[in-house]
Each structure stands twice: as structure tokens, then as C-alpha cells.
A = this chain, B = another copy of it.
Amino acid sequence: MTAAPSSRPARRGRPGYDLESLLQVAVMLFNERGYDGTSMEDLSRKLGITKSAIYHHVPSKQELLRLATNRALDTLSTVATEAHSTSGPAIDRLEHLIHRSVTVLIDQLPFVTLLLRIRGNTPVERAALTRRRHIDHLVTELVTQAAQDGDLRPDIDPATTSRLLFGMINSLVEWYRPRRGTNPDQIADAVTTIALHGIRNS
């Protein structure tokens, strides 16, 4: 998803956007300029449609943020809940969770980027942070279970471990850019290998 040049004329005569494409453009703008720094005016200019055409789809900027963050949270929550509730050794479920988290993050890169930049300034943001904390809690429980099974190094506590793992995974939003020839599965393999076995060739 690349930004249209700002000199591009309004798309007069084109059929209107549907909610999905409107959301995609809104998320891109929020990521570029910050949520607080983006007005509905900016969005209408970027889309080349009137503000009332936007309000036909959503009642407010907050609602766009809610839809966007819930998109990311719904998927991440499904992945974490599955890893938490299925059977099998916790270490294997943790490995699967790490791998899936990377592919989901890449698949929904703009949405997860927006989610991870939220600081809790509004009720919508605070609701998103509450859902994030619930997901973090599921992950920490899984790490704790793997530690109790004796499958993790005993010298690192589970809360620190899960924060460091997801710090590594979430850093992808800062530097990963989709390119032809790069395969999300290869990145997911790299992250999973480093997380489980480290970088050292031993």
C-alpha cells in the first residue's frame, strides 16, 4: 500500500469507496502522520471524497480507529487463544504461536503497526490496550507452563521472556517492508529459530 502523490487530483466521477478501502487509507494516514495528527479533513483530501461521504460509512475518526485496532486484535487474540487452549506440550504451542504471530503481523502490517503505537489517550485506545494486555497474559501463561515443564532455561523469568520475545516480533512493524522475493514464512522461520535456539551456531 503506497501513498498517492499529494498532487494527485481528487477522484471525481469515480464510484465511492466502500468501508474496507476507506479503512485501509485511514490506517495508512494514521501510521504516516499519527492518529492525533490526522483530521477527517486530511482523510477526505487523501480519498478525494467529501467528509459527508466518509460519514456515510463511519460516524467518527474514533470509529475508524476502533475498527482498525479490532481488526488486528481479533486475529492476534485468535492466535493466542488457540495456542493457549489446544493440547500438546507448551513449548511446541509456544513455538507455533511465535511463528503464527509473525505471519499475522506481516499479513496485517498496517493494522498491527497502528495498534502498537497506541498510548491510551482515548477510551478507544484504552479499550485496545486492555485487549492487548489480555493477549500478553495468555502468552505469559503459556511461557510459564513451558518453564514448569522444564523446557525453558530456568534462569529467565516467564514475564521477561514473553516481553522480550514479543519485543523481537513486534519490532517487525518498524523495519519489515514487503518486497517481491521475500517470503513471510522465511522471516517467521528466522524469528522462531532465534527465539528458541539463539543466533549462535552451537
- Listed in ascending order, the chain A residues whose CB lies under 8 Å from chain B are 34, 36-37, 91, 143, 150-157, 160-161, 163-172, 174-175, 187, 189-191, 193-202
Closest CB-CB distance, A91 to chain B, in whole Å? 7
Closest CB-CB distance, A55 to chain B, in whole Å? 26
> Which residues of B are found within 8 Å of A189, using beta-carbon distances?
155
Closest CB-CB distance, A60 to chain B, in whole Å? 21
Which one of B91, B163, B169, B199 contacts A200 once the chains associate, using CB atoms below 8 Å?
B91
- A34, A143, A171, A194: which has the most chain B beta carbons within 10 Å? A194
B200 x A153 contact (CB < 8 A): yes
B198 x A160 contact (CB < 8 A): no
In the bound assembly, the distance between CA atoms of A16 and B149 in angstroms comes to: 58
A174 x B164 contact (CB < 8 A): no
Q: List 7 A-B contacts (CB under 8 A).
A: A36-B37, A155-B193, A156-B193, A160-B190, A163-B171, A165-B194, A167-B175
**What would 13 more interface pairs be, CB under 8 Å, given A151-B200, A151-B201?**
A34-B34, A34-B36, A36-B37, A91-B200, A143-B199, A153-B199, A153-B201, A155-B189, A157-B190, A164-B171, A164-B194, A165-B199, A168-B171
